[in-house]
Amino acid sequence: MNAHQIYQEAVGLLRAGNPQAALDKLHLALEICPDHPDYLSERGVVYFHLEKFDLALIDLDRAQLLEPENPYRYSSRAYVKDRVGDLEGAITDYSKAVELDPEDAVAYNNLGLVQEKMGYQNKAQSNFNKADELADKKGFFDRIPDNEKQTKPEPEKFILPGKQKAANYIKKDDDSSAKKESKWGIIKSVFTSKEGFKDFMSFIFKRKKQD
C-alpha cells in the first residue's frame, strides 16, 4: 500500500469518528513521505480532534511552510489558533487566507468571528456581510438542511490556561451598537461549538488544491 492510499484510509477513519486510528495511519504515511503538506495538514486536524493543540499547530506550521501560497494552510491553522486563544494569530492567518482566496466565504465569516471576540464590531460586521454575499452567490445556504440552519449550540471555550484574552487589552471599535442579523449569524454559532465543528469539518477544512 502506498502513502496516498494510507492517507485516504486516514481521512475515512477521521470522517467515521475514529481520530486515533486515523492518526496511526497518518504516522505511516508520513514515514513514507515526511514532507507531504496534505498529510501533515491532515495529521494536524487529527491532533486537533484529540485536543493535542500544540502538536496540531506544529504540523499545520510545517504544511504552511511547504505551501505558502495555499490559502487552506492559513485558514485551517487560524481555526486552531482561535480555539486555543491566539486571537491575533488567527486574525493574521484568516486575513492571509482571504487575501489568497477572496472567494472563501467561510474564511471571511471566521475572520469576523475572531474580530468580534476582540471587540472589533465594525470590521467583524463587514466580514460577515462579505461572507453573506459570497455564500449567496455560491448558493451555500441552499445546501444546508433547515434543521441545521435553526441549530444554535452554545460556544465552547478553548483558551489556554493562563493566557489572557486579547479582548481585555485590545482597543474596541467606537461603534458597538447592535449588529444586523445575517444568515451567517446562525451559521457562525455552529462554527464555534465542538459539535458544530464536527458537522462542518469537511467544509471548513476544505482542500484548496483547486477547482
10-residue block means of pLDDT along the chain (211 residues)? 94 94 97 97 96 97 97 96 96 97 94 95 94 81 48 31 26 39 43 39 38 37
The closest alpha carbon to 53, from 13, 30, 82, belongs to 82
Write the CB contacts of 43 (distance below 8 Å, at least 6 apart in sequence).
23, 26, 27, 30, 59
CATH 1.25.40.10 fits 1-68, yes or no: yes
CA atoms within 13 A on the CB side of 21: 11
Q: Residue 99 CB: number of other CB atoms within 10 A?
A: 11
Which residues contact residue 209 at a Cβ distance below 8 angstroms, ignoring those fewer than 6 apart? 70
Domain coordinates in residue numbering, the chain: 1-68, 69-211
Say yes or no: do domains 1-68 and 69-211 share a fold.
yes
Q: Which fold has domain 69-211?
A: 1.25.40
